[in-house]
Amino acid sequence: MKRIFTCLLMGLCMTVCAVKAQAGTSLFVFVDENGTVLEDGATVVRDVVELDAEGQQIIKSGISVKSNGASASDYLRVHYEVQQLDNGSYQICFPATCNYQSEVGSYQTGIGQLMGNSQDIMSEWFLEDDGTCLVKLTIETLVKQAGFPPQYETTGFGPTLTIKFVKGASESIPGDVNDDHEVNITDVNVVIDMILNPGGGNMKCDVNGDNEVNITDVNALIDIILNTN
């Protein structure tokens, strides 16, 4: 039964990868602090606490929006859903204004253009205590219409990105190879990606602890998923 389930999961993972490969048509993409393009639907976890100029605790996302073939006539805004906010406030500054939210809900930024080829969206959690802030971002692409006052026509949505800000001691979760504090099909995809593209440095993919990353780690991860209540 486990072998059948493994084959089904691997088939699903391959299908997901193929669909993602065909869907790379967004005019704007999210990138991390290293300039790496983040996949549509990805989750990133941020847990580095800093102090701002006023001594307030802050965790920064380090996420920017980058042009992916957008022209001078393309505009954008970011829709954001604050799904969890244990304390403090969430800030997003983009494209040219800053919005602050102190409760969960769905919001959006103003409409504008990137200042350059890429722009930091300054997505940050100003925290007051341990906890979690969970925010889902979605890019809306628009074109400006002729006339005054200016009108905009939506041409598409996506990609999406979930940012999980975390403060507080937490134990490592067995099988959580992508550090999003959950164990699910996304972790299986990460292990399979490392098997297909060896040479990566994520040794959390060695789920069974035998110092190798192979199909046995996929089976071990499936066991964890099936036996997690």
Q: Which of 4, 164, 191, 201 is nearest to 84 (CA)?
A: 164
Kindly report the backbone phi and psi dihedral angles of residue 136, in degrees, each rounded to the nearest multiple of 5, phi listed first. Answer: -105, 125
Alpha-carbon distance of 37 to 66, in angstroms, equals 9
Task: Characterize the bridge pairing of strands 28-31 and 151-167.
Answer: unpaired
H/E stretch holding 46 reads: strand 42-46
Q: Which of 208, 209, 215 is nearest to 194 (CA)?
A: 215
Q: What letter does residue 24 receive in the DSSP assignment?
A: -
pLDDT, one tens digit per residue, over 166-191 is: 998 555 678 888 777 778 888 898 88
Q: Can you give the pTM of this predicted structure?
A: 0.68
pLDDT, one tens digit per residue, over 119-129 is: 999 999 999 99
pLDDT of amino acid 16:
43
pLDDT value at 217 more than 50: yes
Asked if residue 173 lies in contact with residue 165, where contact means CB atoms within 8 angstroms, the answer is no
Asked if residue 176 lies in contact with residue 166, where contact means CB atoms within 8 angstroms, the answer is no
CA neighbours closer than 13 Å in the CB half-sphere of residue 187? 26
